[in-house]
Structure formats: C-alpha cells, structure tokens
C-alpha cells in the first residue's frame, strides 16, 4: 500500500490555515500546526489522517520536528498583523511581527529541510498583497511580507530539488481582516473579500501541479473588492 504524502500546515487552527488543511486532507496526512490545541483537536477529528501538531512557532526547536522524518509539503500560513503609522509603532511591535512572520518561518524551514529533501518536497509561503505593495499604516507588516518574499526566493535558488511557492492573497475574510477593518474604521464585509477556501484552492493548485511544473508565485485578488 502506497503511503500518503505528509503535509504540515502552520496557523491551522483557523482562517486560511484551516482551509488549507481541509483542502489537502483528501490526499495528504496533515499535521495541524498551531497554538490553540482545542481548535486543532476539533479540526483533526473532522479530517481523517490529520493530527494536531501544537507548537509555539517563535520557540520551535529540533525536538519539535523529531517525529517528522519525511515531509512532502510545508505550508507557512501563520502570521500576525499590527497596523499603525511609523510614529505609532514601537520596536516591540516590529520585533514581534518579524519574529512570527519571518524568523519563525525561516527557522521551521531550516529544521525541516532534511525531511523535505528526502521527499523532494514543496514549501508554500502564504504571503499577502502587502508583500508586493506597501501602504501607509502597514509598515511593520509589509516589511515582514517583503522579507518573506525574499526568503522564498532565496530558498528556491538554494534548494533546486524542492518546489517553493509564494501565494499573495488580497484581502481575505478572516479574523485578521476583521481587525484590519476595525483599525481602518470600516465595516467588515466578507462578501467583498476572498474566502479562505479560495486561497486554499490556490495552494492546492500549486501543490498538485504536475511533477514537471513549478508554480513559483500566485497572486489572488477579490473580484470587485479592495486590492490589499
């Protein structure tokens, strides 16, 4: 019996991460990465072949990945966003944003590279429209997403046997977007944004592309909605 491929999805307790886990579950055994153990357990009960992988990404260590000898897909979906003008955001905000959105991604990837190399695996970075264009009040977040793009580009060059895809969604109907709209003083109107499932389908398209195909970048925008 052929073993099913293994995928690890961070930020899997909700939003885009949970949608990606659901999209991959029919064909992959999914490790559900995140901090909310109750939410991860509930999702694992819903998805055959899935299991929780509770972790604090900013403190991930070699011991956390010992049980992952082979990894076919690594999806970086976890992230944080704190909006504010440059004169409003302290160094602590910048450090926290970079730590979660960039440093944790780099370190988890580094620790899992042996497992990814064994499988000739695929790394997917769920970025943002802010990784392509920076807007006022998005300084720390946009800087982290530009850095995430650079990380993916470098990894793609350094690890030619792996596939590395960056996905750039526009505004998506998640709790993060709800917080963004509160900061902007606007209504949260999910019908104007991408659905998490639509972003997940883009990730799935990259992962399931034929072995001769390498989708390096995918950009999604809401139809008729806000661009970023």
DSSP conformational letter for 130: G
Contact 36, 60 (CB under 8 A): no
Q: Where in the chain are the domains?
A: 6-220
Q: What is the pTM of this model?
A: 0.95
CA distance 214 to 209: 7
CA distance 6 to 49: 9
Q: Look-up: residue for tokens 């901090």? A: 35
CATH value of 6-220 in 1.10.357.10, 3.40.50.12780, 3.40.50.720, 3.40.47.10: 3.40.50.720
pLDDT tens string, the chain, 228 residues long: the values are 468 999 999 999 999 999 999 999 999 999 999 999 999 999 999 999 999 999 999 999 999 999 999 999 999 999 999 999 999 999 999 999 999 999 999 999 999 999 999 999 999 999 999 999 999 999 999 999 999 999 999 999 999 999 999 999 999 988 788 888 887 888 888 889 999 999 999 999 999 999 899 999 999 999 875 556
């Amino acid at each position: 019996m052929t073993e099913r491929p293994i995928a690890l999805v961070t930020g899997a307790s909700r939003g885009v991460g949970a949608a990606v886990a659901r999209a991959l579950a029919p064909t992959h055994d999914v490790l559900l990465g995140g901090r909310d153990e109750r939410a991860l357990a509930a999702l694992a009960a819903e998805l055959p072949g899935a299991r929780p992988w509770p972790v604090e990404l900013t403190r991930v260590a070699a011991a956390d990945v010992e049980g992952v000898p082979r990894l076919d897909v690594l999806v970086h979906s976890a992230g944080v966003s704190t909006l504010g003008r440059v004169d409003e955001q302290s160094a602590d905000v910048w450090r926290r944003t970079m730590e979660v959105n960039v440093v944790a991604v780099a370190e988890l990837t580094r620790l899992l590279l042996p497992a990814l190399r064994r499988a000739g695996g695929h790394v997917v970075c769920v970025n943002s429209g802010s990784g392509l264009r920076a807007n006022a009040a998005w300084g720390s977040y946009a800087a982290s997403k530009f850095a995430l793009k650079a990380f993916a580009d470098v990894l793609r060059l350094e690890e030619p046997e792996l596939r590395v895809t960056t996905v750039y969604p526009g505004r998506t109907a998640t709790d993060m977007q709800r917080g963004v709209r509160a900061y902007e003083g606007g209504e949260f109107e999910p019908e104007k944004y991408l659905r998490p499932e639509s972003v997940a389908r883009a990730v799935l398209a990259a992962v399931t592309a034929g072995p001769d195909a390498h989708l390096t970048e995918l950009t999604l925008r809401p139809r008729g909605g806000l661009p970023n």
